[in-house]
Structure 1
């Protein structure tokens, strides 16, 4: 959170505070957090996720956490959402016939 004069008072790691709201009980903590949220610019939008949610979700005292992105993809599959290639067609784009046709949305080393 940020203090009244714009100084950083405390950096909080999301992975250390799942199910732990007690950090907010400290005097002035909510104000500091709101000041921090209001004064920091958001990062540029991209397709990457912080490892706080891809490696450390609900980690607690364990060595490993869950991967929120993978959980959401699986949740979509569980609910019967079509794969990406089908959605391309729904959006008026051509379906990819092979991996090379996905170069516009994937890193070359991933193909």
Structure 2
């Protein structure tokens, strides 16, 4: 199977970005291309498994899965942030916060 074509555009990086964003975008390029070329079903299935596993596994194991999922979604949200409308930004912040809170609850700290 041939790889999917890359999205249209003349730059992989955010124009005029600061040094932090540029460094994160540069370090994210290879994983993003890998995710782009992976079969479409892998990402949603892996995220669903991490979420369900995080809820079902008690203690640290569940907290780690939920924390990793929160970090992954936060990473994607950071990369997409400049192009998101306000509602999309708020939704991503809420999702990351809820996953982090569930991870803390699952860990047994609270």
**TM above 0.5, one fold?**
no
Larger relative CO (CA 8 A, sep 6+): 1 or 2?
A: 2
User: Would you tell me which structure has more helix in proportion to its own residues?
Assistant: 2
Larger radius of gyration: 1
